[in-house]
Amino acid sequence: MNRLFVRRNHRHPYFDGRALIGLCGLWFWFGLGGLAQSTASPVNASAPFSTRATHLLGLENTKSNCDGTLSLQGNELQFQQDGKPSVELEITSVRHIFLNEESKQVGGLPMTLGKAAAPYGAGRVVSLFAHKNYDILTLEYIGFDGGVHGVIFQLSKGQGDLVRNELVARGVSSSSGEDQRTKQSTAEVRRENK
Protein backbone atom coordinates (compact mmCIF):
# COMPACT_ATOMS: atom_id res chain seq x y z
CA MET A 1 0.00 0.00 0.00
CA ASN A 2 2.71 2.37 1.08
CA ARG A 3 4.91 1.35 -1.86
CA LEU A 4 2.12 1.99 -4.26
CA PHE A 5 1.50 5.37 -2.73
CA VAL A 6 5.18 6.22 -2.91
CA ARG A 7 5.36 5.11 -6.54
CA ARG A 8 2.43 7.31 -7.40
CA ASN A 9 4.10 10.18 -5.64
CA HIS A 10 7.24 9.58 -7.70
CA ARG A 11 5.35 9.42 -10.98
CA HIS A 12 3.53 12.70 -10.59
CA PRO A 13 6.55 14.98 -11.04
CA TYR A 14 7.61 12.83 -14.02
CA PHE A 15 4.25 13.30 -15.72
CA ASP A 16 4.29 17.02 -15.00
CA GLY A 17 7.69 17.34 -16.75
CA ARG A 18 6.50 15.51 -19.84
CA ALA A 19 3.33 17.56 -19.95
CA LEU A 20 5.39 20.73 -19.65
CA ILE A 21 7.71 19.64 -22.51
CA GLY A 22 4.70 18.66 -24.62
CA LEU A 23 3.05 21.98 -23.91
CA CYS A 24 6.23 23.82 -24.89
CA GLY A 25 6.44 21.72 -28.05
CA LEU A 26 2.86 22.51 -28.95
CA TRP A 27 3.39 26.17 -28.23
CA PHE A 28 6.55 26.17 -30.38
CA TRP A 29 4.74 24.30 -33.18
CA PHE A 30 1.80 26.69 -33.27
CA GLY A 31 4.20 29.60 -33.04
CA LEU A 32 6.07 28.34 -36.11
CA GLY A 33 2.76 27.78 -37.92
CA GLY A 34 1.70 31.31 -37.16
CA LEU A 35 5.05 32.64 -38.34
CA ALA A 36 4.79 30.65 -41.57
CA GLN A 37 1.28 31.94 -42.08
CA SER A 38 2.39 35.52 -41.64
CA THR A 39 5.22 35.11 -44.20
CA ALA A 40 2.93 33.38 -46.70
CA SER A 41 0.45 36.24 -46.86
CA PRO A 42 2.26 39.52 -46.31
CA VAL A 43 -0.35 41.41 -48.31
CA ASN A 44 -2.07 44.03 -46.26
CA ALA A 45 -4.82 45.64 -48.30
CA SER A 46 -4.54 49.03 -46.63
CA ALA A 47 -0.74 49.33 -46.54
CA PRO A 48 0.85 51.40 -49.33
CA PHE A 49 2.99 49.49 -51.80
CA SER A 50 5.40 50.77 -54.42
CA THR A 51 7.90 49.37 -56.90
CA ARG A 52 9.93 50.52 -59.89
CA ALA A 53 8.26 49.86 -63.24
CA THR A 54 8.39 50.81 -66.89
CA HIS A 55 5.20 52.05 -68.48
CA LEU A 56 5.03 50.37 -71.89
CA LEU A 57 1.75 51.84 -73.11
CA GLY A 58 -1.83 52.73 -72.24
CA LEU A 59 -1.75 55.42 -69.56
CA GLU A 60 -3.05 58.78 -70.69
CA ASN A 61 -0.66 61.74 -70.62
CA THR A 62 2.28 59.41 -70.03
CA LYS A 63 5.00 58.58 -72.50
CA SER A 64 5.45 55.02 -73.66
CA ASN A 65 8.55 53.14 -72.47
CA CYS A 66 9.23 55.48 -69.58
CA ASP A 67 10.54 54.48 -66.15
CA GLY A 68 8.82 55.45 -62.95
CA THR A 69 7.33 54.28 -59.68
CA LEU A 70 4.19 52.18 -59.60
CA SER A 71 2.42 52.48 -56.27
CA LEU A 72 -0.80 51.34 -54.68
CA GLN A 73 -2.23 53.63 -52.07
CA GLY A 74 -5.70 53.12 -50.63
CA ASN A 75 -8.02 52.78 -53.58
CA GLU A 76 -5.66 54.22 -56.17
CA LEU A 77 -3.00 52.89 -58.46
CA GLN A 78 -0.45 55.58 -59.26
CA PHE A 79 2.36 55.76 -61.75
CA GLN A 80 4.83 58.56 -61.27
CA GLN A 81 7.33 59.22 -63.99
CA ASP A 82 10.58 60.53 -62.52
CA GLY A 83 10.18 64.24 -61.81
CA LYS A 84 6.65 64.47 -63.16
CA PRO A 85 3.18 64.48 -61.57
CA SER A 86 1.66 61.07 -61.03
CA VAL A 87 -1.11 59.54 -63.12
CA GLU A 88 -3.80 57.87 -61.06
CA LEU A 89 -6.48 55.34 -61.70
CA GLU A 90 -9.05 53.87 -59.35
CA ILE A 91 -8.42 50.27 -58.43
CA THR A 92 -12.17 49.60 -58.45
CA SER A 93 -12.20 50.40 -62.19
CA VAL A 94 -9.67 47.62 -62.93
CA ARG A 95 -11.52 44.61 -64.30
CA HIS A 96 -8.74 42.13 -65.01
CA ILE A 97 -5.05 41.60 -64.36
CA PHE A 98 -2.86 39.47 -66.58
CA LEU A 99 0.72 38.57 -65.93
CA ASN A 100 3.24 37.01 -68.26
CA GLU A 101 7.00 36.83 -68.58
CA GLU A 102 9.10 38.05 -71.43
CA SER A 103 12.79 37.91 -72.21
CA LYS A 104 14.22 41.19 -73.46
CA GLN A 105 17.58 42.50 -74.52
CA VAL A 106 19.08 44.94 -72.05
CA GLY A 107 20.84 48.24 -72.75
CA GLY A 108 18.32 49.79 -75.12
CA LEU A 109 19.33 51.68 -78.26
CA PRO A 110 22.94 52.49 -77.26
CA MET A 111 23.66 48.83 -76.61
CA THR A 112 21.98 47.82 -79.89
CA LEU A 113 24.10 50.30 -81.84
CA GLY A 114 27.23 49.17 -80.02
CA LYS A 115 26.49 45.53 -80.84
CA ALA A 116 25.86 46.38 -84.48
CA ALA A 117 29.16 48.24 -84.69
CA ALA A 118 31.21 45.52 -82.99
CA PRO A 119 33.50 43.71 -85.49
CA TYR A 120 33.60 39.98 -86.28
CA GLY A 121 30.05 39.43 -85.08
CA ALA A 122 31.03 40.07 -81.48
CA GLY A 123 27.72 41.87 -81.02
CA ARG A 124 25.86 38.62 -81.53
CA VAL A 125 27.83 36.93 -78.79
CA VAL A 126 27.05 39.84 -76.48
CA SER A 127 23.34 39.51 -77.39
CA LEU A 128 23.46 35.89 -76.34
CA PHE A 129 24.09 36.93 -72.73
CA ALA A 130 22.65 40.47 -72.61
CA HIS A 131 19.06 39.52 -71.97
CA LYS A 132 16.88 39.56 -68.91
CA ASN A 133 13.46 38.19 -67.97
CA TYR A 134 10.77 40.69 -67.04
CA ASP A 135 7.23 40.45 -65.74
CA ILE A 136 4.71 42.05 -68.05
CA LEU A 137 1.67 43.23 -66.08
CA THR A 138 -1.41 44.01 -68.14
CA LEU A 139 -4.42 45.76 -66.61
CA GLU A 140 -7.79 46.18 -68.22
CA TYR A 141 -9.90 48.97 -66.74
CA ILE A 142 -13.01 51.00 -67.45
CA GLY A 143 -12.53 54.72 -68.00
CA PHE A 144 -14.84 57.54 -66.91
CA ASP A 145 -16.62 57.38 -70.27
CA GLY A 146 -17.38 53.66 -69.86
CA GLY A 147 -14.82 52.69 -72.50
CA VAL A 148 -12.41 49.80 -72.11
CA HIS A 149 -8.78 50.84 -71.54
CA GLY A 150 -5.64 48.77 -71.28
CA VAL A 151 -2.32 49.56 -69.69
CA ILE A 152 0.90 47.54 -69.73
CA PHE A 153 3.76 47.76 -67.24
CA GLN A 154 7.12 46.03 -67.31
CA LEU A 155 8.54 45.04 -63.93
CA SER A 156 11.58 43.18 -62.67
CA LYS A 157 11.03 39.46 -62.43
CA GLY A 158 9.07 38.59 -59.30
CA GLN A 159 7.68 42.09 -58.80
CA GLY A 160 4.71 41.39 -61.06
CA ASP A 161 3.46 38.71 -58.69
CA LEU A 162 3.66 41.12 -55.76
CA VAL A 163 1.69 43.84 -57.56
CA ARG A 164 -0.88 41.31 -58.69
CA ASN A 165 -1.29 39.95 -55.17
CA GLU A 166 -1.69 43.48 -53.84
CA LEU A 167 -4.35 44.25 -56.43
CA VAL A 168 -6.17 40.96 -55.77
CA ALA A 169 -6.11 41.76 -52.04
CA ARG A 170 -7.79 45.03 -52.95
CA GLY A 171 -10.57 43.20 -54.77
CA VAL A 172 -9.43 43.00 -58.40
CA SER A 173 -10.21 39.83 -60.35
CA SER A 174 -7.24 37.85 -61.61
CA SER A 175 -9.14 34.86 -62.88
CA SER A 176 -7.30 34.20 -66.08
CA GLY A 177 -3.84 35.45 -65.20
CA GLU A 178 -2.53 32.04 -64.14
CA ASP A 179 -4.12 30.35 -67.14
CA GLN A 180 -2.43 32.85 -69.38
CA ARG A 181 0.97 32.17 -67.88
CA THR A 182 0.51 28.41 -68.23
CA LYS A 183 -0.83 28.78 -71.74
CA GLN A 184 2.12 30.89 -72.80
CA SER A 185 4.74 28.59 -71.38
CA THR A 186 3.04 25.64 -73.08
CA ALA A 187 3.10 27.50 -76.36
CA GLU A 188 6.76 28.30 -75.91
CA VAL A 189 7.59 24.67 -75.15
CA ARG A 190 5.66 23.60 -78.22
CA ARG A 191 7.64 26.11 -80.27
CA GLU A 192 10.92 24.91 -78.82
CA ASN A 193 10.08 21.31 -79.69
CA LYS A 194 9.38 22.18 -83.34
Partner 1 sequence: MKTSRRISWIIGVAAILATVVAFPGRLPGQTSAAKSSGATSGSPMSVQVDRVDPGESDLAYSFQVAIYENLIEELNKTKQFERVLREGDRDAGNVPNLLILRTTIEKYTPGDETRRAVTTVSGATKLTVRSQLFTSDGKIVLERTVNGEVRFFGSNLQATHNLARNIAKAIQQSTWSGSEQSSAMLGAQF
Among 38-46, 78-86, 92-100, 161-169, the segment contacting partner 1 (CB under 8 A): 92-100
Cα 113 to Cα 117: distance, rounded to the nearest angstrom:
6
| From 51, 112, 165, 174, residue interacting with partner 1 (rule: CB under 8 A) | 112
Residue 124 as a binder of partner 1 (CB under 8 A): the answer is yes
Q: What angle separates helix 122-129 from helix 108-117, to the nearest 10 degrees?
A: 140
| From 44, 102, 122, 173, residue interacting with partner 1 (rule: CB under 8 A) | 102
Q: Is residue 28 packed enough to be buried (19+ CB in 10 Å), middle (13-18) or exposed (0-12)? A: exposed
57, 154 Cβ separation under 8 angstroms: no
Residue 117 contacts by C-beta under 8 Å, 6 or more apart in sequence? 123
Residue 104 as a binder of partner 1 (CB under 8 A): the answer is yes
Q: Identify which of residues 82 and 145 has a Cβ nearer to partner 1 in the complex.
A: 145
- CA-nearest of 54, 77, 100, 56 to 172 is 77
| From 50, 51, 58, 88, residue interacting with partner 1 (rule: CB under 8 A) | 58
- Binding-site ranges for partner 1 (CB under 8 A): 56-58, 96, 98, 100, 102-105, 112, 115, 123-124, 127-128, 131, 136, 138, 140, 142-143, 145-152, 176, 180, 183-184, 186-188, 191
